[in-house]
Amino acid sequence: MLPPATDPIAVYIHVPFCARRCPYCDFATVAGQDHLIERYTSTVCREIESSPLRGRAASSVYFGGGTPTHVSFESCITPIMQAVTGTFELLPDAEITFEANPASSDAVKYRRFRNAGFNRVSIGVQSFDDRVLQTLGRLHTADEAVAALRSARAASFRSVSLDLIFGAPNQSVEQWQRDLNTAVGLAPDHISAYSLTVEDGTPFASMLHAGSLPAPAEETLAAMFQLAINTLAQAGYEHYEVSSYALPGHRCRHNLVYWTHKEYAAFGPGAAAYTNGVRTVNERSPAGYIDRMARTGSAIAYSETLTDEQQLTEALMLGLRLLEGIRISELAARFGQDCVNRLQPAMANLSGRGLLDVGSNTVRLTRAGLMLADTVLVDLAAATG
Ligand code: SF4
């Protein structure tokens, strides 16, 4: 069953341009193709303005990437934002986020975004240690990361978030503790702490296969995850999603739309949308995206109507990322009691292994399940098929 077509949606804009590609990145991003920014801008505006969802209320807008602070605010971000506000009915309290890179953002740029109505910024800090930043191939220094955070604060965004990475090559547990302490000392409203995953096709994957990239042991990663949970909890951050921690009132409303399996529109190269039970993914390369839009008037390279089972699998995989878990009655109302019944043996099995906490009406990951979240979610997903 689908969410009502009158519910507000989330709107995602993908800005694929970066100054340089980080060796671990597998997002739809490009470096050295800034000559495409102008045509990208007019194309993404056209894609937004021709959306079949025109007129729908939007509870959040999120400019992600790539690096939204790498492109010109005036000639790229401004027209795209105008296309968004001219196409969708932004709710008065809509959350409007952009991702910022410390290497391409300063006090002036933060103020521009703030004056244009952006009320949330997510800064890709990754680490406060220059050696870790170098290993990750980042262009900014630790000092620049601190300065970015302070400038964002001074611009008075409603929420300032920062991203951190743990499990970087040669990163010690002690160093990770220092990163967490520095982050807490800067008092952002929200922190996302991701374990580094080496994705196929990236330079890090080649180095790993060649034996030249030291990968942390599983126990080290688990210790780092535990450290994040404890340190951030002590500092008053609610751990509300596997990788996300927020001061009260600062949970990311845009991402909550994904995790609660609601509808979202998405524009730009490689952007994935989910509306009306249909998942679509746009052409991934900026040049291909521009070309496809010019030839066909649509950027969609892949489209799939999800069956009830697929929707249930997604709802589980995403919903269980939230620490408060999922209400069984809501699953039953949406997908039918039969579907839920089919899950019972797998849930009982995972509960018996101490990985899932199954109550009378809620199911959620236990602390042990959280440490093995990906495995647990895959096991449950297999049971829905
Ligand atoms: S800056 Fe971010 S999006 Fe760009 S290459 Fe690095 S990790 Fe990927």
For residue range 216-255, what is the model confidence (pLDDT) as tens digits? 898 999 999 999 999 999 999 999 999 999 999 999 999 9
Q: Write down the residue that tokens 């490009």 correspond to.
A: 30
- Please state whether the peptide bond connecting residue 297 to the residue before it is cis, i.e. omega within 30 degrees of 0: no
Output the pLDDT for position 6. 77
Residue 274 phi/psi, 5-degree rounding, is -140, 105
User: How many structural domains comprise the chain?
Assistant: 2
The tokens for 349 are 């099995």
Strands 57-65 and 9-15, by their bridges, are parallel
For ligand 1, atom 5, which residue shows the shortest CA distance? 21
Residues 216 and 138 in one domain: yes
351 and 240 belong to one structural domain: no
Answer whether 25 contacts ligand 1 (Cβ < 6 A).
yes
Which pair of structure tokens corresponds to residue 237? 């951050």
Q: Are residues 20 and 154 in the same domain?
A: yes
SS (H, E, C) 145-160: HHHHHHHHHHCCCCEE
Of the three residues 216, 244, 259, the one that is the final residue of a domain is 259
- The whole-number pLDDT of residue 308 equals 85
Q: Say how many Å lie between the CA of residue 138 and the centre of ligand 1.
A: 8
- Considering the domain architecture, whether residues 254 and 350 belong to the same structural domain is answered as no
User: Is the beta carbon of 16 within 6 A of some atom in ligand 1?
Assistant: no
* 337 C-alpha to ligand 1 centroid (Å): 43
Q: Could you tell me if residue 126 is inside a domain? A: yes
CATH number at residue 164: 3.20.20.70
Answer yes or no: is 299 within a domain: no
* Residue whose CA is at the smallest distance from ligand 1 atom 2: 66
207 and 339 housed in the same domain: no
Q: Where a domain ends, among 244, 259, 274?
A: 259
Q: Is residue 136 part of a domain?
A: yes
* Same-domain status, 176 and 43: yes
Q: What pLDDT score was predicted for residue 242?
A: 95
The answer, yes or no, to whether any atom of ligand 1 lies below 6 A from the CB of 101, is: yes
On whether both 227 and 349 belong to a single domain, the answer is: no
Q: Does 334 lie in the same domain as 195?
A: no
294 within some domain:
no
Domain-located, residue 306: no
For atom 6 of ligand 1, the residue with the nearest CA is: 22
| pTM for the full predicted model | 0.95
**22 CA → ligand 1 middle, Å:** 5
Task: Tell me the CA–centroid distance for residue 29 and ligand 1, in Å.
Answer: 7
Q: Which residues of the chain have pLDDT under 70?
A: 1-5, 384-385
| Residue 3: per-residue pLDDT | 57
The alpha carbon of 18 and the centre of ligand 1 are apart by a number of angstroms equal to 6
pLDDT at position 75 is 97
| Residue 316, in any domain of the structure | no
Nearest of 122, 111, 132 to residue 175 by alpha carbon: 132
Q: Are 181 and 231 in contact (CB under 8 A)?
A: yes
Residue written as token pair 């892949």:
302
For residues 17 and 162, membership in a common domain is answered with yes
**Residue 26 within any structural domain of the chain:** yes
Separation between Cα atoms, residue 335 and residue 309, nearest integer Å = 8
Atom of ligand 1 nearest to the CA of 20: 5
Q: Do residues 196 and 342 share a domain? A: no
Side chain identity, residue 343:
L
pLDDT of residue 275: 94
How far, in Å, is the centroid of ligand 1 from the Cα of 351? 38
Kindly give the distance from the C-alpha atom of residue 239 to the centroid of ligand 1, in angstroms, as a whole number. 25
For a pocket test of ligand 1, which of 15, 25, 144, 197 has the largest count of ligand atoms closer than 8 A to its C-beta?
A: 25
Domain stop point among 259, 285, 303: 259
Q: 215 and 90 share a domain?
A: yes
Tell whether 155 and 247 lie within a shared domain.
Answer: yes
- Cβ of 67 less than 6 Å from ligand 1: yes
Domain boundaries, position 378: 325-384
Nearest-angstrom CA–CA distance, 150 and 133: 19
pLDDT value at residue 309: 83
* Closest ligand 1 atom to 65 CA: 3
Does 372 map to a domain? yes
Please give the structure tokens belonging to residue 364: 């959620």
The predicted-structure confidence for 41-98, as pLDDT tens digits, reads as follows 999 999 999 999 999 999 999 999 999 999 999 999 999 999 999 999 999 999 999 9
Residue 2, pLDDT score:
57
**Phi then psi dihedrals of residue 207, to 5 deg:** -65, -40
